[in-house]
Structure 1
Amino acid sequence: MKTLLLQPLTALLVLVLGMISSRSFGQETRPVRNIVLVHGAFVDGSGWQGIFDILTRQGYKVAVTQHALLSYEDDVKAVNRIIDQQDGPCILVGHSYGGAVITKAGNNAKVKGLVYLAAHAPDEGESEADNGKKYPSAYKSLIKGKDGFDYIDPAKFPDDFAGGVPAQQARFMAVSQPPTADSIFHAIIKNPAWKTKPVWYMVAKADKIINPDLERLYAKRANTRKTVEIDGASHCVFITHPKEAADLIIAASKGCR
């Protein structure tokens, strides 16, 4: 008689445990659906369109920041403003100087993972300018204005900055580049988020703006979950290789549980 009574109780227990396990598994494997894209110096957010199109077609909610490049602290605040607007956890993606921005903004509680695309990831007490001196870049086209703003010689921009980008697009980027305050490159990093958040990194192997060896150093010391190196890719790898970049972002979204 006891055996007969235990059988339905046992079956019910198994069913309940199965439901709990199924729900837990579902929560663990659900990818982060919000992606925030952070541009670098000398460009604006429009360069993200290729990656935006790929991610949104796959159901991701993508936000593109438009920070002013006038002050590092103000740029971090602008990115945090967009992060705070997200309806849940997000993946933060930075290109070039945008990497320095996400290194601080990534401390926001909503950020679950960081993706660096040919980007700076300074450590505590470092600046990207000082790191660039340790690992010199190949380009010689930076012009420093007397008013404290930098830009890249438009005649050399397509080759130095935008290698691989269609010529007409690269020429337009050259003449439409936003003024960038030289001071942002000298901002000293405090409390880098990559020490506490998981990281994915893309190295552009033909980058003339950031030395690829510096990119490799950033990736190695951040203990990246995955590092991808793109042959022949210039500093504009986020424009020239949107699929590979989107694949890395998707891997990050699935890897942050």
Structure 2
Amino acid sequence: MTSPLRNTIIAVAAAAAVAGSSPADAASRIADDQAVRTVVLVHGAFADGSGWRGVYDELTARGYRVAIVQNPLTSFEDDVNATRRILARQEGPSILVGHSYGGSVITEAGTDPNVAGLVYVSALAPDVGESTGDQFAEIPAPKEFVIETGADGFGFVNRELFQAGFAGDTSDPDAAFLRDSQVPINMAIFGTRLTQAAWRSKPSWAVVATQDHAIDPRLLRQQADRIGAEVVEVEASHVPFLTQPLAVADVIDRAARTVSQAATR
């Protein structure tokens, strides 16, 4: 995608954001002839794809086909390949969505020609030659977010600090379930350098959770600004897809509608 076209798409998105829409419009079903009707959701570290259920329900109710990647979290290559595997099963162009570390995954995998746009949800967006871990060099993770690495090199979020660092706006029972069902990640992943950066050629949107205590909101804003994303801020912890599924679905919906409109120009 040329820079002028990419800038046009982002400009259209910005205009749509300024114009706004009523709640009824936001939740309306997509047109039968909308060009982008597919969404692929990619989870981050310490979680699995089931956390997307609320977003899935919102989007499918609007007429989208939604697929969810289950990252093994065993290596960066494995996670990128898992995402590409799901993308290959889709018909037509897709909006590719990543949460947290999943932002690194969609940045690498999103150069796929069938990816029409990217949505980063409390997510990182490295550049070519950078790793996920590099993103924290200037703005480290908040003190509430503590990872404990085992002898085998896989990490878990500290049990006592899990809710404060990862899911501060969830109920105590929900936070406990997330804590006790967390998926460990191979910590070597955070040192793997990216070879592609899809945001350099694809239009991007970013959901910034203002109460995120796993990735500092200042870093989320910095990353979103660097990639030229349209930014929507929501009052939520690191898991806005769980606690603010409607807001997250609205951003994804807007991305799909915007790139569809741009494709007809």
Tell me, yes or no, whether TM beats 0.5: yes
112, 126, 131: which one pairs with 2:130?
126
2:176 and 2:145 mapped to 1: Cα distance? 18
Residue deviations 1:180-204 (CA, integer Å, cap 9, x gap) = 1001111111220000000000111
- In our comparison, the structure showing a higher alpha carbon Rg is 1
1:118 and 1:175 mapped to 2: Cα distance? 22
Compare 92-101 and 206-215 and name the one that shifted more: 206-215
1:140 and 1:159 mapped to 2: Cα distance? 8
Q: SS where residue 208 of structure 1 aligns?
A: coil
8 Å CA contact retained: 1:205, 1:230: yes
The residue that corresponds to 2:245 in the other structure is 242
Gaps of 5+ in 1: 1-26
The residue that corresponds to 1:255 in the other structure is 258
221, 226, 231: which one pairs with 1:221?
226
The residue that corresponds to 1:37 in the other structure is 41
1:115 and 1:155 mapped to 2: Cα distance? 31
2:131 and 2:141 mapped to 1: Cα distance? 15
How many matched pairs? 228
8 Å CA contact retained: 1:127, 1:188: yes
174, 180, 197: which one pairs with 1:192?
197
What letter matches 2:179 in structure 1?
A
CA deviation after TM superposition for structure 1 residue 169, in Å: 1.4
CA deviation after TM superposition for structure 1 residue 140, in Å: 4.2
Query: Normalising by the residue count of structure 2, what TM-score does the alignment of the two structures yield?
Result: 0.83
8 Å CA contact retained: 1:31, 1:255: no
1:140 and 1:115 mapped to 2: Cα distance? 24
8 Å CA contact retained: 1:150, 1:179: yes
8 Å CA contact retained: 2:145, 2:166: no
The residue that corresponds to 1:151 in the other structure is 156
The residue that corresponds to 1:50 in the other structure is 54
The residue that corresponds to 2:166 in the other structure is 161
The residue that corresponds to 2:20 in the other structure is none
The residue that corresponds to 1:175 in the other structure is 180
Gaps of 5+ in 2: 1-30
1:230 partnered with 2:234: yes
The residue that corresponds to 1:7 in the other structure is none
CA RMSD in angstroms comes to: 1.3
2:110 and 2:35 mapped to 1: Cα distance? 18
What letter matches 2:221 in structure 1?
R
CA deviation after TM superposition for structure 1 residue 31, in Å: 4.4
What letter matches 1:38 in structure 2?
V
CA deviation after TM superposition for structure 1 residue 133, in Å: 2.6
8 Å CA contact retained: 2:146, 2:161: yes
Q: Extract structure 1 runs of 4+ deviating beyond 6 A.
A: none
What letter matches 1:83 in structure 2?
L
1:31 and 1:236 mapped to 2: Cα distance? 29
What letter matches 1:250 in structure 2?
D
1:243 and 1:31 mapped to 2: Cα distance? 22
Residue 247 to residue 144, structure 1, CA distance change in 2 (3 Å): same
CA deviation after TM superposition for structure 1 residue 30, in Å: 2.3
2:159 and 2:44 mapped to 1: Cα distance? 17
Q: SS where residue 122 of structure 2 aligns?
A: strand
